[in-house]
Amino acid sequence: MPEPTTASESPSGEETNIRAIQGQKEYTADKLEHLSDQEHVRKRPSMYIGDTGPRGLHHLVFEVVDNSIDEAMAGYATQIWVTINGDGSVTVEDNGRGIPVEVHPVIGVSTLEGVMTLLKFGGKFSKGAYYTSGGLHGVGVTVVNFLSEWCVVEVYRGGAVYRQEYERGKPTGPVRRIGTTHRTGTKTTFKPDPLIFPNTEFNYNIIYRRLQELAFLNKGVKIHFKDLRTNEGETFCYQRGIIEFVEYLNRASEPIHPEVIYMSTEVEGVTIELAMQYSSEYTENFHSYVNNICTTEGGTHVSGFRTALTRTFNQYGRQEGLFKDLIPTGDDFREGLTGVLAVRVPNPQFEGQTKTKLGNSEVEGIVSSAVGDFLSRYLEENPKTARAIIQKALLAAEARESARKARQLVRERKGALSGAGLPGKLRDCTSREVDKCELYLVEGDSAGGSAEGGRIREFQAILPLRGKIINAYKAREDKVLANEEIRSIISAIGVGVGDEIDLSKRRYGKIIIMTDADVDGSHIRTLLLTFFYRQMYDLIKAGMVYIAQPPLYRVRRKKDVYYVQTEEEMKNQLLEAGLADAVFEPGDGRTIAGEELQRLCRTLAAIEAAVIALERRGISLREHAARRDPATGRLPVYHVFLDQNEYWFTTRQELDEFLEKEEAETGETLVVEGDHNGEAETQEASEKETASQPQRRLHIIELHEVRTINAHLQTLREMGFDIDALFPIERTGEEKPRYILRRGESVQGLEDLRGLLTALRSAGERGLQITRFKGLGEMNAEELRETTLDPAHRTLIQVTMDDAGAADEMFRVLMGEKVLPRREFIEKHALEVQHLDV
């Protein structure tokens, strides 16, 4: 029998063809590509900031702020200013030393340019500039620059002001000296690049929370935050640091001992700061930080703290004879604990670029020993507090035993998949494919009936809930598990509760909360989320909990009906409908339609948003247009006050030339005043005026929103319009309209381009019957199926835990015992409500 021939000995015709093709794509040196730092960051931004969604977008702000905080940690900065500008850009300024500007001996350009344009270049790689620091391993501000549409840095150092501008990470010119100042520090302004980020709008609350957190962690540092889009703002400064942090976290709780337990020490170069206080809550609220970075996944410093806490309290309880039949565990000792642990490590080793877990093995022993010694002394010196904490832990242990027995009863119910032991009101699905099956938790029996009639019976189950379930944040676990509605939910899902959850036993792949959009529905949804957060956290962590989002609008056109989820989407659809078959006549013999008209509308929408921001400053667009450069048509970006005189400049080069001319002609130094330093700077400046060289006051305001307007005005000019097209002109009633919008038989006259968007949306609304929904109660079974149950059309919001600390604080404020923090929250956010159900 002949031996088989291998493919390598006698290739088939097909293999020969494959090799021929591969030969045409040889792997040679010229196939390899080298990317610059800037190109690599822009091509792979997620490697550096995690993602290009909201988290990565806000990370840009925090990276620049971290540099200022590093100056504060090193003892050189006392104040930081963070401003969200009207055009969506962000300015971060500090009164630290200022980035060096002299030519660096190694890179051959200004040190400032190196910091802004070179990765792995900075002051965080040795202990010469910073002993401890946060940020992205010394690449943060560079990455921010690379991912920005534009960036401007001003440095106040050595009595002078220096400036450099960048576009998508590349310098537009060298570092220039632009004036004289008595200040020190760095001011960075950047605008995220819309080519990188799908959404470039910053969230006030996200930045607010992080800046407040940094102020708590760096006692005495003053952080000023201002949002020029809404004129909201706050100044944070905490002289007692993390002690005030714990008091703030416990503001909605009832402490069981009056004073916050606090320690601060340094061991082997590691600085340890701990503040903790027990309350009557049933959950732990613990926050840990390394060099100001929140370590949400803990790490060796948290392990060391927990070991010391359990060991020390156990020793004290045994020594004082406080334990009898039941000995508390570590979880029992942490029930009701609110604490902040902040360590500073010279060379931290984090797990992963996003730094959520500390890996330094030596830190565990250092923290455990230091915390253990401190707590031992504290308990001996404060027996009343010690006994209150031990008694709290014993009650937690008893509740744990009661809850264990309650969970045992749940587990003893037979065969969840066979249907035995399931709640009688559950309308189960027929499929046994767990990942495909869905459980809808529906508010009320009436809505449950509509959902029952509209569901897809094969894989959708309905569980109607009667009334409002127990508040799982106020009640102990054994009380929660005794609630009938809660027991129905637990039985239906089938995974158990608490630490004994087993997701492999789940009966459904999705748990979907479906309630009305009114006040009662929102309350029920909040109670359900509270229960899942407290008792079934693993379901949320696994991404299995969803909220059904009914549509906001029903749109009927003749016999066709469709649904729209949001107001913004409704506006876009009306504009799109209005654009169909629309023809715009600008009065010069042209007609604009199709893609060209869409481009015009996008440009007008972008201009309108920037104009609103400009007018918030009290600057009228029409008045500002009168100051435009007659040659280029660009509007002035810089508003300058020199002594008692006022000037406007379109470019920085024009401004710099003016300042040089003023200094040369008068022989006087122009002292640049800042927007923030206030009385301290004024006093310092007045003292220095007594010097022999005369000085003049110079104040420069940069209108960032005008940058956006200028960019889009250039697009308008390319389309044959100047800025005057945005303003109506005086006309007699007998004259023809300035512009004409035609759509079929309809003809509408317009007197300016700013009215075009409104006219198109109004045109798009013709022939439509638009109904705004209040909630599920207004829908019959057919509508409910089409809008909220059918996977092809519905919208589900997945419940995630991006910030567990913020979530816990929110639950504590809204669902806790104290009324005052809840009232303060409502008063603070009352004006943000858009659709109030009364």
Q: Which residues are catalytic, by number?
A: 443, 516, 518, 520
CB contact at 8 A, 550 and 584: no
CB contact at 8 A, 252 and 822: yes
CB contact at 8 A, 35 and 43: yes
- Spatial distance between the Cα atoms of 291 and 194, rounded to a whole number of angstroms: 31
Torsion angle of the four alpha carbons 342, 343, 346, 349, in this order, in degrees rounded to the nearest 10: -90
Residue with structure tokens 């809660």? 486
Return the number of other C-beta atoms located less than 10 Å from residue 819's C-beta: 9
Structure tokens at 579: 């654009």
CB contact at 8 A, 138 and 125: yes
Q: Which residues are CB-contacts of 412 (< 8 A; sequence separation ≥ 6)?
A: none
Long-range contacts of 735-741 (CB under 8 A, 24+ apart): 738/587, 739/584, 739/585, 739/586, 739/587, 740/584, 740/585, 740/587, 741/582, 741/583, 741/584, 741/585
- What amino acid occupies position 656? D
Nearest-10 crossing angle of helices 300-319, 361-381: 30
516 annotated ligand binder: yes
CB contact at 8 A, 551 and 565: yes
Residue with structure tokens 């632009």? 178
Structure tokens at 60: 């840009």
51 annotated ligand binder: no
- Spatial distance between the Cα atoms of 232 and 239, rounded to a whole number of angstroms: 24
Q: What are phi and psi of 671, to 5 degrees?
A: -95, 120
- Spatial distance between the Cα atoms of 556 and 562, rounded to a whole number of angstroms: 7
How many residues are there in the chain?
838
CB contact at 8 A, 338 and 250: yes
CB contact at 8 A, 279 and 390: no
373 annotated ligand binder: no
**327: which DSSP letter?**
-
Paired strand residues for 462: 427, 440
CA 718 vs CA 650, 726, 732, 739, 760: distances in Å: 20, 15, 30, 18, 22
584, with CB counted inside 10 A (0-12, 13-18, 19+), is: buried
Q: What are phi and psi of 372, to 5 degrees?
A: -60, -45
CB contact at 8 A, 336 and 395: no
- Spatial distance between the Cα atoms of 288 and 343, rounded to a whole number of angstroms: 8
Q: Shortest CA distance to 777 belongs to which of 491, 492, 519, 446?
A: 446
CB contact at 8 A, 190 and 90: yes
Paired strand residues for 672: 698
Positive or negative torsion for Cα 804, 807, 809, 811: negative
Structure tokens at 801: 């835990």
Q: Shortest CA distance to 354 belongs to which of 798, 802, 799, 37?
A: 802
CB contact at 8 A, 421 and 415: yes
**5: which DSSP letter?**
P
CB contact at 8 A, 44 and 167: no
Structure tokens at 331: 């979880």
CB contact at 8 A, 94 and 74: no
Structure tokens at 315: 């020793």
- Spatial distance between the Cα atoms of 69 and 291, rounded to a whole number of angstroms: 10
Residues that constitute the known binding site? 443, 516, 518
Residues that constitute the known binding site for Mg(2+)? 443, 516, 518
